[in-house]
Amino acid sequence: MPDVDFREVQRRFAAHLRDPQHHAAPEGIEERRMAIYRRLFINNIEDLLGRAYPVLCGLHGPERWARLARDFYREHGCHTPYFPRLAEEFLGYVETERGPREGDFPFLAELAHYERAEGVVAQHEDDPEEASGPAIDPAGDPLTGVPVLAAAARLLAYEYPVHRIGPDFLPEAPGEHPTYLVVFRDRDWHTQFIELNPLSARILWYVENDPAPGAELVRRVADDFGLPPGEDLRRSAETLLQHWLQRGVLAGVRPAA
Protein backbone atom coordinates (compact mmCIF):
# COMPACT_ATOMS: atom_id res chain seq x y z
CA MET A 1 0.00 0.00 0.00
CA PRO A 2 1.58 3.34 -1.03
CA ASP A 3 2.34 5.91 1.63
CA VAL A 4 -0.38 8.53 2.03
CA ASP A 5 0.48 12.14 2.78
CA PHE A 6 -2.56 13.03 4.84
CA ARG A 7 -1.60 16.70 5.00
CA GLU A 8 -1.64 16.81 1.21
CA VAL A 9 -5.00 15.03 1.17
CA GLN A 10 -6.37 17.59 3.66
CA ARG A 11 -5.00 20.46 1.58
CA ARG A 12 -6.62 19.14 -1.59
CA PHE A 13 -9.84 18.40 0.28
CA ALA A 14 -10.03 21.95 1.66
CA ALA A 15 -9.11 23.49 -1.71
CA HIS A 16 -11.89 21.54 -3.38
CA LEU A 17 -14.46 22.62 -0.82
CA ARG A 18 -13.43 26.26 -1.20
CA ASP A 19 -13.36 26.23 -5.01
CA PRO A 20 -14.69 23.00 -6.55
CA GLN A 21 -14.63 24.47 -10.07
CA HIS A 22 -10.85 24.86 -10.08
CA HIS A 23 -9.66 22.19 -7.63
CA ALA A 24 -10.42 18.53 -8.07
CA ALA A 25 -11.45 16.41 -5.11
CA PRO A 26 -8.88 14.02 -3.61
CA GLU A 27 -8.89 10.63 -5.24
CA GLY A 28 -10.71 7.78 -3.59
CA ILE A 29 -13.63 9.79 -2.15
CA GLU A 30 -17.08 8.98 -3.48
CA GLU A 31 -18.63 11.94 -5.33
CA ARG A 32 -21.88 11.55 -3.41
CA ARG A 33 -19.98 12.05 -0.16
CA MET A 34 -18.08 15.03 -1.55
CA ALA A 35 -21.34 16.66 -2.63
CA ILE A 36 -22.66 16.33 0.91
CA TYR A 37 -19.48 17.91 2.32
CA ARG A 38 -19.71 20.78 -0.18
CA ARG A 39 -23.33 21.54 0.70
CA LEU A 40 -22.70 21.33 4.45
CA PHE A 41 -19.72 23.66 4.40
CA ILE A 42 -21.13 26.37 2.18
CA ASN A 43 -24.58 26.21 3.81
CA ASN A 44 -23.00 26.67 7.23
CA ILE A 45 -21.03 29.68 5.99
CA GLU A 46 -24.07 31.26 4.35
CA ASP A 47 -26.22 30.74 7.43
CA LEU A 48 -23.63 32.03 9.90
CA LEU A 49 -22.88 35.17 7.87
CA GLY A 50 -26.57 35.72 7.23
CA ARG A 51 -27.26 35.81 10.97
CA ALA A 52 -24.33 38.19 11.55
CA TYR A 53 -25.35 40.50 8.67
CA PRO A 54 -29.14 40.22 8.41
CA VAL A 55 -29.70 43.49 6.53
CA LEU A 56 -27.04 42.74 3.92
CA CYS A 57 -28.32 39.19 3.55
CA GLY A 58 -31.90 40.36 3.02
CA LEU A 59 -30.89 43.02 0.50
CA HIS A 60 -28.89 40.53 -1.57
CA GLY A 61 -31.50 37.81 -1.69
CA PRO A 62 -30.68 34.08 -1.58
CA GLU A 63 -28.80 33.76 -4.89
CA ARG A 64 -26.64 36.89 -4.61
CA TRP A 65 -25.92 36.20 -0.94
CA ALA A 66 -24.84 32.66 -1.82
CA ARG A 67 -22.45 34.02 -4.46
CA LEU A 68 -20.97 36.54 -2.01
CA ALA A 69 -20.52 33.86 0.64
CA ARG A 70 -18.83 31.59 -1.91
CA ASP A 71 -16.52 34.43 -3.00
CA PHE A 72 -15.53 34.95 0.63
CA TYR A 73 -15.06 31.22 1.23
CA ARG A 74 -12.98 30.83 -1.94
CA GLU A 75 -10.83 33.97 -1.78
CA HIS A 76 -10.24 34.72 1.89
CA GLY A 77 -7.68 32.88 3.99
CA CYS A 78 -9.24 32.86 7.44
CA HIS A 79 -6.98 33.46 10.44
CA THR A 80 -9.25 31.76 12.95
CA PRO A 81 -10.60 28.21 13.21
CA TYR A 82 -13.62 29.38 15.21
CA PHE A 83 -16.93 29.75 13.39
CA PRO A 84 -18.22 32.55 15.66
CA ARG A 85 -15.29 34.72 14.54
CA LEU A 86 -16.01 34.39 10.83
CA ALA A 87 -18.18 37.52 10.94
CA GLU A 88 -15.04 39.56 11.70
CA GLU A 89 -13.16 37.77 8.91
CA PHE A 90 -15.97 38.60 6.48
CA LEU A 91 -15.79 42.27 7.41
CA GLY A 92 -12.05 42.29 6.72
CA TYR A 93 -12.71 40.63 3.36
CA VAL A 94 -15.26 43.18 2.11
CA GLU A 95 -13.30 46.14 3.52
CA THR A 96 -9.79 45.37 2.30
CA GLU A 97 -9.73 42.39 -0.08
CA ARG A 98 -12.80 42.24 -2.28
CA GLY A 99 -12.63 45.59 -4.02
CA PRO A 100 -15.42 47.08 -6.18
CA ARG A 101 -17.18 44.50 -8.35
CA GLU A 102 -20.03 44.64 -10.80
CA GLY A 103 -23.30 44.03 -9.02
CA ASP A 104 -22.01 44.92 -5.54
CA PHE A 105 -23.79 47.58 -3.55
CA PRO A 106 -21.57 50.67 -3.29
CA PHE A 107 -22.23 50.75 0.45
CA LEU A 108 -21.35 47.07 0.98
CA ALA A 109 -18.31 47.63 3.20
CA GLU A 110 -19.85 50.44 5.26
CA LEU A 111 -23.11 48.60 5.92
CA ALA A 112 -21.14 45.48 6.86
CA HIS A 113 -19.07 47.56 9.29
CA TYR A 114 -22.21 49.04 10.85
CA GLU A 115 -23.91 45.66 11.26
CA ARG A 116 -20.74 44.22 12.77
CA ALA A 117 -20.52 47.16 15.20
CA GLU A 118 -24.06 46.44 16.35
CA GLY A 119 -23.12 42.80 16.92
CA VAL A 120 -20.00 43.74 18.87
CA VAL A 121 -21.98 46.11 21.10
CA ALA A 122 -24.70 43.51 21.71
CA GLN A 123 -22.15 40.83 22.64
CA HIS A 124 -19.80 43.05 24.65
CA GLU A 125 -18.85 41.62 28.03
CA ASP A 126 -17.94 44.08 30.75
CA ASP A 127 -14.29 43.87 31.76
CA PRO A 128 -13.49 44.83 35.38
CA GLU A 129 -10.24 46.45 34.20
CA GLU A 130 -12.25 48.88 32.06
CA ALA A 131 -13.74 50.32 35.24
CA SER A 132 -10.41 50.75 37.03
CA GLY A 133 -9.37 54.16 38.34
CA PRO A 134 -11.56 56.70 40.12
CA ALA A 135 -15.11 55.55 40.75
CA ILE A 136 -17.70 56.36 38.11
CA ASP A 137 -20.82 58.12 39.34
CA PRO A 138 -23.76 57.29 37.02
CA ALA A 139 -25.61 60.35 38.32
CA GLY A 140 -22.69 62.79 38.40
CA ASP A 141 -22.59 66.28 36.95
CA PRO A 142 -21.20 65.92 33.39
CA LEU A 143 -20.09 69.57 33.27
CA THR A 144 -17.99 69.68 36.44
CA GLY A 145 -16.93 66.02 36.22
CA VAL A 146 -15.35 64.00 33.41
CA PRO A 147 -17.94 62.15 31.27
CA VAL A 148 -17.00 58.49 30.63
CA LEU A 149 -18.10 56.66 27.50
CA ALA A 150 -19.84 53.34 28.20
CA ALA A 151 -17.50 50.42 27.55
CA ALA A 152 -19.82 48.87 24.98
CA ALA A 153 -20.54 52.12 23.07
CA ARG A 154 -19.03 52.74 19.64
CA LEU A 155 -18.70 56.12 17.92
CA LEU A 156 -18.96 55.63 14.13
CA ALA A 157 -18.69 57.76 10.98
CA TYR A 158 -19.73 56.78 7.45
CA GLU A 159 -20.09 58.29 3.99
CA TYR A 160 -23.45 56.53 3.53
CA PRO A 161 -26.44 56.82 5.90
CA VAL A 162 -26.11 53.14 6.78
CA HIS A 163 -28.74 53.22 9.53
CA ARG A 164 -31.42 54.06 6.95
CA ILE A 165 -30.49 51.49 4.31
CA GLY A 166 -33.14 48.90 3.58
CA PRO A 167 -35.29 47.49 0.76
CA ASP A 168 -36.87 50.92 0.16
CA PHE A 169 -33.66 52.92 0.40
CA LEU A 170 -30.59 51.80 -1.58
CA PRO A 171 -28.37 54.85 -2.11
CA GLU A 172 -26.11 54.78 -5.15
CA ALA A 173 -23.77 57.52 -3.91
CA PRO A 174 -22.55 58.83 -0.54
CA GLY A 175 -24.64 61.40 1.28
CA GLU A 176 -23.96 65.10 1.01
CA HIS A 177 -22.54 65.04 4.53
CA PRO A 178 -20.94 62.32 6.66
CA THR A 179 -23.20 60.24 8.87
CA TYR A 180 -22.24 60.13 12.54
CA LEU A 181 -23.71 57.47 14.83
CA VAL A 182 -23.18 56.11 18.30
CA VAL A 183 -24.20 52.49 18.88
CA PHE A 184 -24.69 51.57 22.52
CA ARG A 185 -26.60 49.43 25.00
CA ASP A 186 -29.37 51.15 26.91
CA ARG A 187 -30.03 50.63 30.61
CA ASP A 188 -32.08 47.53 29.75
CA TRP A 189 -29.19 46.11 27.68
CA HIS A 190 -30.97 46.62 24.36
CA THR A 191 -28.72 47.65 21.46
CA GLN A 192 -29.63 51.12 20.23
CA PHE A 193 -28.21 53.89 18.05
CA ILE A 194 -28.38 57.67 18.01
CA GLU A 195 -27.65 59.78 14.95
CA LEU A 196 -25.32 62.65 15.82
CA ASN A 197 -24.71 66.03 14.24
CA PRO A 198 -21.10 67.14 13.70
CA LEU A 199 -21.01 69.12 16.95
CA SER A 200 -22.34 66.33 19.17
CA ALA A 201 -20.10 63.82 17.39
CA ARG A 202 -17.12 66.05 18.18
CA ILE A 203 -18.07 66.23 21.85
CA LEU A 204 -18.35 62.45 22.03
CA TRP A 205 -15.03 62.08 20.22
CA TYR A 206 -13.40 64.15 22.96
CA VAL A 207 -15.16 62.07 25.63
CA GLU A 208 -13.62 58.95 24.14
CA ASN A 209 -10.19 60.16 23.05
CA ASP A 210 -9.26 63.23 25.11
CA PRO A 211 -11.45 63.22 28.25
CA ALA A 212 -11.94 66.34 30.35
CA PRO A 213 -14.71 67.93 32.40
CA GLY A 214 -17.78 68.68 30.32
CA ALA A 215 -17.30 72.44 30.62
CA GLU A 216 -13.84 72.08 29.07
CA LEU A 217 -15.26 69.91 26.26
CA VAL A 218 -17.75 72.68 25.50
CA ARG A 219 -14.93 75.20 25.26
CA ARG A 220 -12.93 72.94 22.93
CA VAL A 221 -15.87 72.33 20.62
CA ALA A 222 -16.70 76.03 20.55
CA ASP A 223 -13.13 76.68 19.40
CA ASP A 224 -13.31 73.87 16.82
CA PHE A 225 -16.51 75.21 15.24
CA GLY A 226 -15.88 78.91 15.75
CA LEU A 227 -18.84 79.30 18.11
CA PRO A 228 -19.18 81.74 20.98
CA PRO A 229 -18.78 79.71 24.22
CA GLY A 230 -21.78 81.32 25.86
CA GLU A 231 -24.57 80.19 28.16
CA ASP A 232 -26.76 78.85 25.35
CA LEU A 233 -24.05 76.45 24.18
CA ARG A 234 -23.31 75.40 27.75
CA ARG A 235 -26.97 74.61 28.44
CA SER A 236 -27.32 72.69 25.17
CA ALA A 237 -24.21 70.64 25.93
CA GLU A 238 -25.41 69.91 29.46
CA THR A 239 -28.78 68.72 28.14
CA LEU A 240 -27.01 66.52 25.59
CA LEU A 241 -24.63 64.98 28.13
CA GLN A 242 -27.49 64.32 30.56
CA HIS A 243 -29.44 62.65 27.76
CA TRP A 244 -26.48 60.40 26.99
CA LEU A 245 -26.18 59.53 30.67
CA GLN A 246 -29.84 58.56 30.88
CA ARG A 247 -29.75 56.51 27.68
CA GLY A 248 -26.56 54.61 28.54
CA VAL A 249 -24.18 56.14 25.99
CA LEU A 250 -22.17 57.38 28.97
CA ALA A 251 -21.32 55.09 31.85
CA GLY A 252 -21.21 58.04 34.24
CA VAL A 253 -18.90 60.77 35.44
CA ARG A 254 -15.47 60.63 37.07
CA PRO A 255 -14.15 63.34 39.39
CA ALA A 256 -12.04 65.97 37.66
CA ALA A 257 -8.34 65.69 38.42
Q: Are residues 99 and 143 in the same domain?
A: no
Is there a single domain that holds both residue 67 and residue 168? no
Phi, psi of 125 (to 5 degrees): -110, 130
Mean pLDDT of 223-243: 93
Query: Same domain for 169 and 85?
Result: no
In terms of Cβ atoms closer than 10 Å to its own Cβ (0-12, 13-18, 19+), residue 229 is middle
Same domain, 42 and 145: no
Indicate if 205 and 86 belong to the same structural domain. no
Measured CA distances, 72 to 45, 49, 65, 86, 106 (Å): 9, 10, 11, 10, 17
Q: Domains in the chain: how many in total?
A: 2
The model's confidence at residue 20, banded by pLDDT at 50, 70 and 90, is: low
Q: Where are the beta strands (DSSP E) in the chain?
A: 146-149, 154-158, 179-185, 191-196, 250-254
Domain carrying residue 83? 1-104
The predicted pLDDT at position 55 comes to 97
How does pLDDT run across 163-222, given as a tens digit for each residue?
A: 999 999 999 999 999 999 999 999 899 999 999 999 999 999 999 999 999 999 999 999
User: End-to-end alpha-carbon separation of the chain, Å?
Assistant: 77
93 and 152 in a common domain: no
The pLDDT assigned to 17 comes to 62
Give domain status of residue 114, yes or no. no
Say if residue 100 is in the same domain as residue 150. Answer: no
**Residue 111 falls within a domain, yes or no?**
no
Q: Verify that 74 and 146 share a domain, yes or no.
A: no
Is residue 157 located within the same domain as residue 82? Answer: no
Evaluate whether residue 210 is within a structural domain: yes
Residue 82 forms part of a structural domain: yes
> In the structure, what pLDDT confidence band is assigned to residue 35 with cuts at 50, 70 and 90?
low
Kindly state whether residues 77 and 167 are assigned to the same domain: no
Residue 1: the pLDDT is 38
Domain holding 190: CATH number?
3.90.930.50
Average model confidence (pLDDT) across the chain: 87
CB distance 199 to 225 below 8 Å: yes
Per-residue pLDDT reduced to its tens digit, 103-133: 999 999 999 999 999 999 999 987 655 544 5
Whether 87 and 171 share a structural domain = no
Residue 28 is assigned to a structural domain of this protein = yes
Query: Using CA of residue 174, residue 175, residue 176, residue 181, what is the dihedral sign?
Result: negative
